[in-house]
Structure 1
Amino acid sequence: SEARHNPVGSYLKHFDLKPTMLGKRIRICFEGVEEAMYLWINGQFVGYAEDSFTPSEFDLTPYIREKKNILAVQVHKMSTAAFLEDQDFFRFFGIFRNVTLKAVPDVHMEDLWFKPVLNPDNEHGSVAVSMRVSARKQVTVHAQFVLRDREGNVVAENSVPLQGLNGNLTGEIYTDVGAIHSWDNHHPYLYQATIALKNAENGELLELVPYDIGFRRVEIIDKVIYLNGKRLVITGVNRHEWSPKTGRCIGMEEMHSDIACILKNNINSVRTCHYPDQIPWYFLCDEAGIYVMAECNLESHGSFQKLGATEPSCNVPGSIPQWKEVVLDRARTCFETFKNHPSILFWSLGNESYAGDDIEAMNVYFKDKKDGRLVHYESSYYNRAYEDTISDIESRMYAKPKDVAEYLSDKPKKPYILCEFMHDMGNSMGGLGDYMKLIDEFDLYQGGFIWDFIDQAILVKDPVTGKDVLRYGGDFEDRPADYEFSANGILFADRREKPAMQEVRYYYGLYR
């Protein structure tokens, strides 16, 4: 790159195809690349992608060979995506999540959407399944759906022939399940669904796809959010993905540790601030019964917050037509990647990006899906012209308890959530009890998400003492810097609990 502050990381990978992959369609998936990437295989340009935190998949089939393949990736630290990825964190760049080479069979499930429905009696349910299948050969395909409970008993099954032309097949299955166990924080009951694609002529199994699903219902009744017929109380936390040793590249060990810590301390909800997390995290939340506010990768506070004032004349995306499809793409990738997770109760359009026609279009996209989830966005607070067309929720950051009470006492339009509160920087968390009292005082106050879960600091060896120490912004001769402004966690960066966690465990425990 010719840009002064835009370093480029270049990656080369030499590989041969395994014998089991020969003759199949070959794809490669990058689950996280910060911030933009170009891809080549064997000297042929394959594609470009940006959006650091959602998967990008490329078809290598036209250019792949059996032996001596050369994969080349060029990663740019800065790109047009920089306008939309202004989160408060260390500025890294590179490949930081899994890269997977996939061999796709001749008949392959390209898309699968489970739509479980919990009936109003909270005891019975049904499930609809939408499928999209690609077929490279002429074959009549049947899709067989089977649903099993935890003990492996079949509780529902159905099958349909898939229809379509030119190798693009689709199908819909609807099945009444009858009596079911609902999914929630206290009883995260999951059923195992399987879809078997079979050759209709000889019964040959072409592909088998398993997935765990849960039955739950989110709704607003008289301006109050209910889950499975009960008022929802959020005892939540904002969680960045972080390791003091590997930055935003975290492993399963850290994820399991975070799940255990969350459950131990009576936290029932996580906001994936301010981007989609790694794919395994959502499965862990399904299993543990942790409610998720799934946020799109969008933050542009620098474009409208200037020297402490709100000044949106240069706001991105705003209502700028050129940015509309860009943010819609981020909404699509978030939805399509995570749509089957029962833990997700809310889609969040992003963070601190003001409000305009483009973010309004994101809301329309999610609403058109009619998946039963609620849509959240906070920054319409700064532009009330969009308060009725962007978010189902009155969402605020750091409002004082008296301000929350004043809003809820004056003909409120919507349920109220503090998407960020109790900014845990330094010796903080002393006022948590005052916020929790509001849950009993106002039905429309649904709780909130503490800012935040874990400090963002880097473990380095001190040159004087030789000890491993945590270093924060400004400790690396980086100027300008926000210093320890990313040290707001109820955990230190090495995942030790801070004293403030005692307050969290106690007050959140009152609403467990």
Structure 2
Amino acid sequence: MTTMKPSLEWLSNLSVFKVNRLDPHSDHRYYTTMEEAEAGLPMPMRHGLNGSWKFSYAVNPASRIEPFYRLDYNCAGWDDIQVPGHIQLQGWGTPQYVNTMYPWDGLDGVRPPAIPQEHNPVGSYVKTFELPENMKNRPVYISFQGVESAFYVWLNGEFVGYGEDSFTPSEFDLSPHIREGANKMAVEVYQRSTGSWLEDQDFWRFSGIFRDVYLYTVPELHVRDLRIRAELDDTYTLGMLKAELELIGDQTAAVTAKLELKDAEGRTLLSETSEFRGGKLSVSLEAGEVKPWSAEHPYLYAVCLSIRNDKGDLVEAIVQKAGFRRFEMKDKLMHLNGKRIVFKGVNRHEFNCRRGRAITKQDMLWDIAALKRNNINAVRTSHYPNQTLWYELCDEYGIYVIDEMNLESHGSWQKMGAVEPSWNIPGDKPEWQEIVMDRARSMLERDKNHPSILIWSCGNESYAGEVILNVSNYFREADPGRLVHYEGVFHNRKFNDTSDMESRMYAKPADIELYLERNPDKPYISCEYMHAMGNSVGGLHKYTELERKYPMYQGGFIWDYIDQALLKKNRYGQEYLAYGGDYDDRPTDYTFCGNGIVYADREATPKMQEVKFLYQNIKLEPTLTAIKVMNENLFVGTDGLLLEYRLYREGKEVYTGQTNVAAAPQSEALVPIELPDVNGQSGEYCIHASLTLKEAALWAEAGFEVAFGQFVFMIEEKSAREQPSGKLKLVEGDVNIGVTGEGFSVLFSKQAGTLVSLRYGSREMIAAPPAPLFWRATTDNDKGAGLGFKSGAWYSASLTRKCVGLQLKEEADRVTVAFDYRFSISTEVAVNIAYTVFSDGSIRVRTHYKGVADLPNLPILAVSFKLPADYNDSEWYAMGPEENYIDRAHGARLGIFQRQVIDLPSRYLVPQESGNRTGVRRVSLTNGRGVGLEIKANPSAPLELNLSPYTAFELEHADHAWELPNVHYTVVTVAGRQMGVGGDDSWGAPVHDEYLIPADKEMEFEFYLSGVDGRNEA
């Protein structure tokens, strides 16, 4: 142990990033009996220090209470803080969200390795504890699993050590300082340190002890470090088990180590006993035929290790889970167990909307189940090592992991999107080598035994240079059984060898194809793609379609998994999910923290519907006579799944069937089905095919749907439908035109230039009259692509129309009133809306748009109007159940769905366009008594439709949901077409051309309005 006087100079000294910190080691668990080890019980040789600590906060080092660690300093009157937890989420300081820039940019002009002095918050923690009985007269250590970003430790007034690296453990030997009775643990945590230059991740800036803290002791002989390699031979069937252990303790006499390999059922397959001296042992065993580990079949063996002293007494028992697998680059492709792998992945921050990065076991269990339930097979730990439990869950549930070291220096080389590495770190600067390499070692040594980890990542967005290249070479040398990833070489090809695969961020599909068409040397992955900010993930199919077209395209990782939003109260006490700037944090990157396919409070967003479908490994294509099952799994057949199929007519189920299906991995099967004779009944039919779990899995109940496909077909009527007949009364007044029939009345205003009243019985349906709409509330992607600047004239066009003509036509069984509109955007743009009133009270609304060249694309072409908010119950026959758009509709299915209007807008951090449905055949809006309005389209020409309590303009001008008005209306927006939502990125990428609406395209759409009386459709 080094005896040093602690110094604040360490905070900005590149050569001091650890003092007295123990060397990193594997995260295996150890016990005194094999029964305890096999049961996976809490470790008796650990003693948790989580809970309430005494706490003092200072805004900078100069104002801290310097002698607090001394035994004679009484901290009893201090406040309490919870550990683990962030200081800024417990009442001190301010959370700050920034993306690429450093959090002090514009406030302090420091350059690395110097750090800001005026604003460097300090948290002083004190915990008094009694040493547990089983730790007395033994060595005692303390483990801090995560402290941000640098900290000093004292025990009983004596300096223990110092550590940086927020996301890997820092452990210290307390033995020289432990006393009988009460012990005073003092920890001083600084938010800023040299390490802060290396932790410029896209996340909230917190500080404090945010992961577990515990004491631990070890037996007289202790396996300090364990390396298990469970490998496969060239046939990928025979296993080779290698175990290397490093022992500490009294080794003057011989030590016996017994190694057993047990299968998942507890049967012993191998047993080897070795006697050794000198502290290190290496054992290699032939395991014979084994079950390989994969995400599809995460079969784990137990490596049981018993350590006995020279008397034959068992002193330590270890059970380490192991999965036999082989991950390699072969023929320029990444292979797992001999098969080309495709990563259907997501980037995942550790996050909880109340606790920040201090996440719980329950959070992780929810997350791992959510990944599996939505066909996500891979995670990149963006951008730091996670808690150990996460890797254990990935091993057990089956998730491929890119384990990423804690390195990001984004603000040192990229400014407002421009690559400018004039003072980039670590670059080629040798003085940064050790502090960076230390982070790599700490990650690898802790995590090396987890079969789920296929790839080590050298960090994120830190440009390139010799320092990171050396890290990648270290990974290869220390662990040749895994590959190495780093994206930053894209910006500097001099260091291309840093990464084993070509990895890019937010490359568009065409750019990826361009790379793949040029016979590259490396396979391709998108380490970040589909920037899921707000209403996004449009065009995901363009990426997943590359999986079949190009073998060297091996998937990608969506950015990202969960919104980083924090629960906060506004001035009226309303709780909401807050983003950057809501804490008066400056500088900030505001809403850029909201990129999740899961909301911050752990509920799946509608975007997940598309992800689940496009990521499914098994594709289903039903027809009238058979279902084609394409099993793209690498290792698992369909034996554990049940094939279910349902026939619907006009959205209502008329038949259901089920059968087993035998489709081996990487094969297709055609499963015949027999559907009932529909007796020539006309209408629209749909076949839904699903594969469901026969038995419960760790992550889902039996019956859970893992794959889906559908087929839609029509049986046409043999004779034309009869048109409604009856009498209509037409009254043309000076200002209004009235049309009445049995049980209904319609009023058109010449002055307002639109339909102003629609009554069924005594009920007025129109709260605000229909009008052409060309504007949608801009999404985050719209804003990033500059839609408001480019197409903002359509906003004003939606508000400033002028009615320039009216046509009235009376026929025997109908009356048509048509309005011609012109707009400020161009006198040549014309819209005609014709309302045809039939004698049964239904109204056909036909909209014709005539555009002009040299105008910006339209966001939407729609007719929008309001109903009273009482009409809040909606039933859809459309694509659903979740919102969908023309570039995000693959995961939607045709069916009948119900939802209250208040629940239709999605809970994105910033109010924006949401809740749309494509393929709309009909929608009914009713009140509590079941009366209301139906909107209907021809099945051969379905529409898009949005129901919301808010107009596009109200949404446009709200930055938070609580800024929206109280609910007074149900806003109906019927669209002939709406542009896609996009998702290639959120800072400039346009929606793909085929999902845009050119201004010069002539368009027409129609729909019908009719009354609903609670029993029959009027």
Provide the TM-score with structure 2 as the length reference: 0.49
Deviations 1:350-387 (A, max 9, x none): 00001111001101111111441000000011110010
Residues of 1 paired with 2:517 and 2:340: CA distance? 19
For the Cα contact (< 8 Å) 1:294–1:346, is it kept in 2? yes
Correspondences of 1:227-376 after superposition (within 5 Å): 227-376=336-485
Q: Secondary structure at the match of 1:314?
A: coil
**Number of matched pairs:** 505
Residues of 1 paired with 2:490 and 2:425: CA distance? 16
Q: Residue in 2 aligned with 1:134?
A: 248
Q: Does 1:453 align with 2:567?
A: no
For the Cα contact (< 8 Å) 1:35–1:51, is it kept in 2? yes
Residues of 1 paired with 2:382 and 2:130: CA distance? 39
For the Cα contact (< 8 Å) 1:29–1:58, is it kept in 2? yes
Q: 469, 480, 495: which is aligned to 2:602?
A: 495
Which amino acid is the alignment partner of residue 527 of structure 2? C
Which amino acid is the alignment partner of residue 486 of structure 1? C
Which amino acid is the alignment partner of residue 510 of structure 2? K
Q: Residue in 1 aligned with 2:136?
A: 22
| Rg larger for | 2
Higher relative contact order (CA 8 A, sep 6+): 1
Shift of 1:411: 2.2
For the Cα contact (< 8 Å) 2:156–2:185, is it kept in 1? yes
Deviations 1:395-414 (A, max 9, x none): 00000000000001112110
Which amino acid is the alignment partner of residue 501 of structure 1? M
Q: Does 1:437 align with 2:542?
A: no
Q: Residue in 1 aligned with 2:300?
A: 190
Which amino acid is the alignment partner of residue 324 of structure 1? Q
Which amino acid is the alignment partner of residue 404 of structure 2? E
For the Cα contact (< 8 Å) 2:251–2:277, is it kept in 1? no
Which amino acid is the alignment partner of residue 521 of structure 2? K
Which amino acid is the alignment partner of residue 346 of structure 2? V
Moved more, 5-14 or 365-374: 365-374
Q: Residue in 1 aligned with 2:207?
A: 93
Q: Does 1:123 align with 2:123?
A: no
For the Cα contact (< 8 Å) 1:315–1:354, is it kept in 2? yes
For the Cα contact (< 8 Å) 2:232–2:238, is it kept in 1? yes
For the Cα contact (< 8 Å) 1:159–1:173, is it kept in 2? no
Residues of 1 paired with 2:330 and 2:394: CA distance? 26
Residues of 1 paired with 2:464 and 2:180: CA distance? 50
Q: Does 1:471 align with 2:585?
A: no
Q: Does 1:428 align with 2:536?
A: yes
Deviations 1:270-316 (A, max 9, x none): 00000000110000000011000000000001000023211111011
For the Cα contact (< 8 Å) 2:227–2:245, is it kept in 1? yes
- Which structure dedicates a bigger proportion of its chain to helix? 1
Q: Residue in 1 aligned with 2:189?
A: 75
Q: Does 1:390 align with 2:498?
A: yes
- Root mean square deviation, CA, Å: 1.0
Residues of 2 paired with 1:353 and 1:208: CA distance? 42
Q: Residue in 2 aligned with 1:163?
A: 277
Moved more, 267-276 or 467-476: 467-476
Q: Secondary structure at the match of 1:62?
A: helix
Q: Does 1:144 align with 2:258?
A: yes
Q: Secondary structure at the match of 1:297?
A: coil
For the Cα contact (< 8 Å) 1:157–1:175, is it kept in 2? no
Q: Secondary structure at the match of 1:312?
A: coil
Shift of 1:137: 6.2
Deviations 1:446-494 (A, max 9, x none): 0000000000000123331x33211111111112210110100001100
Which amino acid is the alignment partner of residue 325 of structure 1? E
Q: Residue in 1 aligned with 2:907?
A: none
Q: Secondary structure at the match of 2:368?
A: helix
Q: 322, 331, 345: which is aligned to 1:222?
A: 331
Residues of 2 paired with 1:394 and 1:156: CA distance? 40
Shift of 1:321: 0.9
Deviations 1:13-54 (A, max 9, x none): 111111111110000000000000100111111111000000
Residues of 2 paired with 1:18 and 1:436: CA distance? 55
For the Cα contact (< 8 Å) 1:265–1:504, is it kept in 2? yes
Q: Residue in 1 aligned with 2:523?
A: 415
Residues of 1 paired with 2:132 and 2:457: CA distance? 41
Compared CA separation, residues 278 and 333, structure 1 to 2 (3 A)? same
Q: 141, 149, 170: which is aligned to 1:35?
A: 149
Residues of 2 paired with 1:149 and 1:468: CA distance? 50
Deviations 1:170-219 (A, max 9, x none): 1111111101000001110000111111123x311011111110001111
Compared CA separation, residues 137 and 216, structure 1 to 2 (3 A)? closer
For the Cα contact (< 8 Å) 2:231–2:239, is it kept in 1? yes
Shift of 1:162: 2.2
Residues of 1 paired with 2:601 and 2:459: CA distance? 27
Residues of 2 paired with 1:157 and 1:179: CA distance? 15
Identity %: 51
Residues of 1 paired with 2:254 and 2:453: CA distance? 35
Which amino acid is the alignment partner of residue 78 of structure 1? R
For the Cα contact (< 8 Å) 1:354–1:380, is it kept in 2? yes
Deviations 1:395-442 (A, max 9, x none): 000000000000011121101000000000121111100001111111
Q: Residue in 1 aligned with 2:314?
A: 205
Which amino acid is the alignment partner of residue 4 of structure 1? E
Which amino acid is the alignment partner of residue 196 of structure 1? S
Residues of 1 paired with 2:419 and 2:538: CA distance? 29
Q: Residue in 1 aligned with 2:228?
A: 114
Moved more, 479-488 or 333-342: 479-488
Deviations 1:249-269 (A, max 9, x none): 000101000011001100000
Q: Residue in 1 aligned with 2:886?
A: none
Which amino acid is the alignment partner of residue 411 of structure 1? N
Residues of 1 paired with 2:590 and 2:288: CA distance? 56
For the Cα contact (< 8 Å) 2:221–2:309, is it kept in 1? no
Deviations 1:35-83 (A, max 9, x none): 0010011111111100000001100011111212111000000000011
Residues of 2 paired with 1:222 and 1:170: CA distance? 37
Residues of 2 paired with 1:277 and 1:223: CA distance? 30
Residues of 2 paired with 1:172 and 1:137: CA distance? 16
Residues of 2 paired with 1:22 and 1:184: CA distance? 43
Which amino acid is the alignment partner of residue 217 of structure 1? R
Provide the TM-score with structure 1 as the length reference: 0.97
Which amino acid is the alignment partner of residue 135 of structure 2? M
Q: Does 1:11 align with 2:125?
A: yes
For the Cα contact (< 8 Å) 2:384–2:404, is it kept in 1? yes
Q: Secondary structure at the match of 2:532?
A: coil
For the Cα contact (< 8 Å) 1:107–1:136, is it kept in 2? yes
Residues of 2 paired with 1:484 and 1:509: CA distance? 30
Residues of 2 paired with 1:50 and 1:137: CA distance? 33
Residues of 1 paired with 2:554 and 2:417: CA distance? 29
Q: Residue in 2 aligned with 1:177?
A: 287
